[in-house]
Amino acid sequence: MTATSMIEAAGRALADSRRLLVLSGAGLSAESGIPTFREAQTGLWAKFSPQDLATPEAFAANPERVWAWYRWRRSLIARGGVNPGHRAIAALERHLDVVIATQNVDGLQSAAGSHDVSELHGNIWIDRCSACDAEHRQPVAEADDDAELPYCDACGARMRPGVVWFGEMLPVNALERAQAELERCDCVLVVGTSNQVYPAAALVEMAVAGPATVIEVNPQATSVSAAVDAHIAETASKALPALVDRLDGLGAAR
Ligand code: OAD
């Protein structure tokens, strides 16, 4: 089936649904100019080592290097901003109840206007104390590379980026919210994730095994593409606005 006929089928499935869970990953923000992780050549993990940058041990050994990398990523996000894919997901709230569980740490889905976003891997705009967990939300702006590394106002320990690193637990509330919604929703939209990082990937697998209609938007096939109800092999910024147009056309606004 072509992407157009998949969008047609997915639009009908959404029009028949009342509650939607969106599970999103780095591909959704790729068209904001923010690199994904696992794509050959362009993915962050093709250029950088997660062991050196995204573990508690890496931060303990070299906080300057870790902060420099996260500040660079903050700058990319601040420059990129929201794209039509994020906006289309926000627009879906015109038609049905939407809960989003994202692996993205960029904060762009909330910036696009979505009201219910669970950030499974944390948020890059939050500085969190490495000792007492006190948090400070930072303004979305290009980073000042020369700025001093931050320390906690409350206890004096080093602040770290408020993201989940390899070997760390996901925020319990975010994961539980996504799991609970998986039980209630009648449709799941999986966008821009390679489905390789657990436990987020398990949410996708549970969706595929469960009764909800599952729509996947990803230009590449993933491990679940053959099992979903509709795989739209198109980029998020093309497929999602087209899906919203289709839904508008079906007159499904509430
Ligand atoms: P990946 O980089 O693993 O996968 C990105 C997916 O997006 C791939 O399947 C691409 O085919 C797809 N993609 C690329 N461009 C797209 C576009 N324009 N529209 C739609 N899809 C597109 O990213 P994630 O699955 O999000 O975790 O990675 C999950 C986690 O791995 C990240 O949260 C991060 C990383 O290690 C931590 O750092 C803990």
CA distances from 205 to 87, 178, 182, 235 (A): 26, 13, 11, 21
Specify the residue with its C-alpha closest to ligand 1, atom 32: 103
φ, ψ dihedrals at 198, nearest 5°: -95, 150
Phi, psi of 73 (to 5 degrees): -65, -40
Cα dihedral 75, 120, 197, 228 in deg (nearest 10) = -110
For ligand 1, atom 30: residue with the closest CA: 197
At 57, which helix (H) or strand (E)?
helix 56-61
Could you tell me the pLDDT band of residue 254, with boundaries at 50, 70 and 90? low
Give residues (CB < 6 A) around ligand 1. Answer: 25-27, 30-31, 36-39, 43, 54, 103, 121, 164, 166, 192-194, 196-197, 217-220, 222, 235-236
Tokens 């609970």 identify what position? 180
pLDDT digits (tens, 9 = 90+) for 225-238: 999 999 999 999 99
Average pLDDT over residues 151-159: 97
Q: Is 95 one of the annotated active-site residues of the chain?
A: no
Confidence class for position 252, pLDDT limits 50, 70, 90:
low
* Rounded-to-integer distance, Cα 226 and Cα 134, Å: 44
Give the helix/strand (H/E) hosting 99: strand 97-102
Helix (H) or strand (E) holding 22: strand 19-24
Average confidence score pLDDT of the chain = 96
Q: Please state, in angstroms and rounded to a whole number, the distance separating the CA atoms of residues 153 and 150.
A: 9
Q: CA 159 to CA 168: how far, in whole Å?
A: 16
What is the C-alpha separation between 197 and 199, in angstroms, rounded? 6
Dist CA 123 CA 163 (whole Å):
5
CA 25 to centroid of ligand 1, rounded, Å: 5
All domains of the chain in start order, with CATH: 1-32+82-121+170-254 (3.40.50.1220), 35-80+122-163 (3.30.1600.10)
Q: Is pLDDT at 56 greater than 70 in this prediction?
A: yes
Total-model pTM: 0.97
229 burial type by CB count under 10 A (0-12 exposed, 13-18 middle, 19+ buried): middle
Decide if pLDDT at 243 tops 70. Answer: yes
Query: What is the 8-class DSSP label of residue 152?
Result: -
Is pLDDT at 62 greater than 80 in this prediction? Answer: yes
